[in-house]
Amino acid sequence: MKTPVVGRDGALQAAMKLALADPEEADTNAIFAAVKKLDELRASGIEAEVAVVCGEESRGFQADRKVRREVESVLQGSSYTGIVFVSDGGDDEQVLPVLQSIRPIASVYRIAIKHSRTVEETYMVLGRYLRMLVFETRYSRWFLGVPGLILLLAGVLIVSNRVFEAQLATLLILGGAFFVRGFGVDRSIAGILSQRPYGYIRLFSILTGVLVLLVGISSGYEYMVSQASQLVAAISANPSSFLVYGAIVTGYFLKGSLPLVWAGLAIYTTGTMLAHMVRGSVRAWRDAVVLVMLGLLYFPMDTFSTFLIGGQRESTILLVSYVLFGLAVIFGVTSTVYGRVRTKSSMAKE
């Protein structure tokens, strides 16, 4: 049927043909609702007429132009003073400004089919979020940028007959993206750098501390292999033998890695303490306590690694002595620092 369709009988005929052609089409209910609204207006003594107009399948400018043309043809030669707009919502209501330029909009009547309103709103919300993922940079860099990089790199490697490297690169990029986003590494770095000068102190201490920590782990592995090569080979050949030789191998690993691992942790803690000192934050005292704890824990850990390797009674006694001494020192330091911090806090409040 060609639009515009004017009159009650024509609108009902159009609605029935549309319902037979597509029973799921919501516009059918909108046409019936328009006829019902016509009857209500006429029953209340208002002179009115119903008309069905259509736009274009492509929507946009051409659709609005066609709607305007059809409405103007309906109103031509009539004395109607306003329009009661009836639609099933969604894109239809975008033509309201077009209609207002022809006649005032007296009322808007939106039809929401009970069983599909939630579905329609869900589609609208999904469309809004999809546009956000595509056009907003902070989202598109993860949902489009990372997959795009994976596809581009994998395509280049596959063309070069490096399928294994393409799979490996895909796993590394995905793993790195998930790690960075999951643990908020990008936000943490941005937050650190936004803290002005002391942010760079923290960033430097984090990077150098991690590097020294990694070197310490590598050093511990090399020391373990050099000192207990036979035990490492036995565990590699039979993993269940770890229950027998695991303590000795772990002891050698701790013995070799402990100095650099502790140095990396100390570098990180020192950088954090300096950053807090520059800011004038009381958290610098907490970092100082952590440094003291690291110093006190070094000797028990070193003795523990010796105990794992040799298991001598002297190592056990020395380990217990270090632990008791460390507890006493930590108790004294934390009591002093906590009292000072509490005093400063109360003075700041006053």
| CA–CA dist 142, 147 (Å, integer) | 8
pLDDT band for 319, please (50, 70, 90 cuts): low
Return the structure tokens found at 58.
């492509």
Assign 293 a pLDDT band (cuts: 50, 70, 90): confident
Q: Provide the token pair at 211.
A: 């590097």
Identity of the highest mean pLDDT range in 11-15, 134-138, 326-330:
11-15
Look-up: residue for tokens 């894109």? Answer: 91
Per-residue model confidence as pLDDT tens digits over 108-132 = 888 766 555 566 667 777 777 777 7
Quick one: residue 60, left, alpha or beta (phi over 0 = left, psi -120 to 50 = alpha)?
left
pLDDT, tens digit, for every residue of 187-230? 776 666 665 666 777 778 888 988 999 999 998 888 888 888 88
Residues 186 and 180: their CA atoms lie apart, in Å, by: 6
Tell me the backbone φ, ψ of residue 12, rounded to 5 degrees: -65, -40
Please report how the helices 197-227 and 242-279 are oriented relative to each other, as an axis angle in degrees rounded to 10.
160
Identify the residue with better confidence: 187 or 12: 12
| Candidate from 5-14, 49-58, 271-280 with smallest mean pLDDT | 271-280
Q: Which two tokens stand for residue 23?
A: 């029973």
Residue 24 phi/psi, 5-degree rounding, is -90, 0
Report in angstroms the alpha-carbon separations of 124 from 89, 110, 143, 244.
Answer: 11, 16, 20, 63
Q: Which two tokens stand for residue 38?
A: 């016509």
The span from the CA of 227 to the CA of 216, in Å, is 16
The mean per-residue pLDDT over the stretch 176-188 comes to: 76
Q: What count of Cα atoms within 13 Å lies in the side-chain half-sphere of residue 251?
A: 18
Q: Are 264 and 205 a contacting pair, CB within 8 Å?
A: no
ω into 4 cis (within 30 of 0)? yes
State yes or no: pLDDT of 9 exceeds 90: yes
Least reliable range by pLDDT among 101-105, 315-319, 321-325: 315-319
Query: Is residue 174 a contact partner of residue 149, using CB atoms and an 8 Å limit?
Result: no
Average pLDDT score over residue span 39-43: 92
Average pLDDT taken over every residue of the chain: 80
pLDDT value at 25 more than 60 = yes
Residue 245 pairs in a beta bridge with: none
CB 99 within 8 A of CB 105: yes
Q: What is the pLDDT of residue 349?
A: 46
**Residue 103 to residue 285: CA distance in whole angstroms:** 73
- Average pLDDT of span 279-285: 75
Q: What angle do CA 43, 47, 53 make, to 5 degrees?
A: 105
Rounded distance between C-alpha atoms, residue 164 and residue 296, angstroms? 48
| pLDDT tens-digit readout, 61-79 | 888 888 899 999 888 888 8
Whole-number pLDDT of residue 277: 80
Q: How far apart, in Å, are the Cα atoms of 319 and each of 245, 313, 314?
A: 21, 10, 9
Global confidence as pTM: 0.45
Host H or E run for residue 324: helix 313-349
pLDDT of residue 57 exceeding 50, the answer is: yes
**Gap between the Cα atoms of 296 and 323, Å rounded:** 8
* Both structure tokens of 134: 């595509």
Tell me, what amino acid is at 121? E
Q: What is the pLDDT of residue 113?
A: 66
